[in-house]
Amino acid sequence: MTLKISVITATRNRESTLNRVFKSLKSQTFKNFEWIVCDDSSDDKTINLLKKFKKKANFRIRIFHFKKRAGKPRIDNFCIKQSVGEFIVFADSDDAFKKNSFADFIKEWSKIPNETKKKTFALISRIVTSEGKTLENKFNIGNKSISLIDLNNLTQAKEKWLFIKKNIINKYKFPEIDFYVPEGIVWEKISKKYNVWIMDNCYRIFYSDTSNSITFSKKINYTIGQLKSLELEVLRKKDIKAKALLNYYRYLYINKYYLKYKTKEINYFNNKLKLIYKSIGFLFFIKDIMTLKINNDKFKKNYSNPIEIQ
């Protein structure tokens, strides 16, 4: 039987939360999927846990393990190549999702007109917290087919969940420049050519209780990836927010002077405002150093391949 969906999970030291993903997959009413999970050199019992999952699962599980840390972009690129599903779903290692998620996604896809399907790279849905609170209100947009960039401009800039066509994402790569790089960098590139199709419901369940979560960390992590994301926001030049400009210079200084990465300043305008933003950004940078807020976990690209755990 040809698999319809490939679920991809990158994990690092998440033995305490991976059970959420496994339970969510096991409870899916739609069963035609595989789970590809790749461990990023964990030093906890993640691999042992995944082996137990594999024995209990009623679906296909493939487990990979990097002996040396590689980073999420490297893992995602590798797992996409390994996948056999028509659709890709990224499931974070500390989240859960509703049991009807895959069934509803497949049902909705079947309703989209064929001509629209050709221009669509993903179905998109909203997210609910573990307490049952939606992260953003209903989109309430008349046309279900829309550019993701336009959708983000029209709605709150919150996390969403994508159900992605593999033959389209296969043409793109997540930039392997840091251990974590915001996925929006790739979604923006794809959105210049393809639309998303809106499913105005909540399927993914978002948790905020993970100690090593990227979103809720008190330390500044993955500075190259964050800088690249801020560069895109600044270069977009439409409705540039002061916060984005200040953080751009803040991260530029962190990369250049603290972590000693080779970085170049982008030129988006030349006037007195630029000096103001640079000055305030520098003050934030000094404050980060004084308060020991920067994580100095320097990125080094891993060119090796992971091993498959049987």
Domain ranges in the chain are: 5-214+302-309, 223-290
CB 11 within 8 A of CB 85: no
| pLDDT number for residue 239 | 67
Residue 211: predicted pLDDT: 58
80: number of Cβ within 10 Å: 20
Q: 19: phi > 0 → left, psi -120 to 50 → alpha, else beta; which?
A: alpha
Tens-of-pLDDT digits for all 310 residues of the chain?
688 999 999 999 999 999 999 999 999 999 999 999 999 999 999 999 999 999 999 999 999 999 999 999 999 999 999 999 999 999 999 889 999 999 999 999 999 999 999 999 999 999 999 898 998 888 888 889 999 989 988 887 678 999 999 999 999 999 999 999 999 999 999 999 999 999 999 999 988 776 556 555 678 999 999 999 999 888 876 667 788 899 999 999 999 999 999 898 988 766 778 889 999 999 999 999 999 999 878 899 999 999 999 8
Q: What is the b/e burial string over 277-293, where b = at least 16 CB atoms within 10 angstroms of the residue's CB?
A: bbeebbebbeebeeeee
Residue 287: phi and psi, rounded to 5, are -60, -40
Rounded (10°) angle between helices 272-290 and 242-253 = 60
Contacts of 14 (CB under 8 A, 6+ apart): 42, 44, 46, 93, 94, 210, 212
CA-nearest of 69, 67, 37 to 53 is 37
What's the rounded Cα separation, in Å, for the pair 84 and 89?
A: 12
Interior CA angle at 219 toward 215 and 223, to 5°?
80
CATH code: domain 5-214+302-309 is: 3.90.550.10
DSSP-derived 3-state class of residue 230: helix
CA distances from 286 to 154, 177, 241, 283, 299 (A): 35, 25, 22, 5, 22
71-86 pLDDT, tens per residue?
999 999 999 999 999 9
* Cα Dmax for the chain: 63
Q: What pTM was estimated for this model as a whole? A: 0.93
At residue 270, the pLDDT reads 67
Q: Which two tokens mark 185?
A: 């960098």
State pLDDT tens for residues 141-195: 888 999 998 998 888 767 899 999 999 999 999 999 999 999 999 999 999 999 9
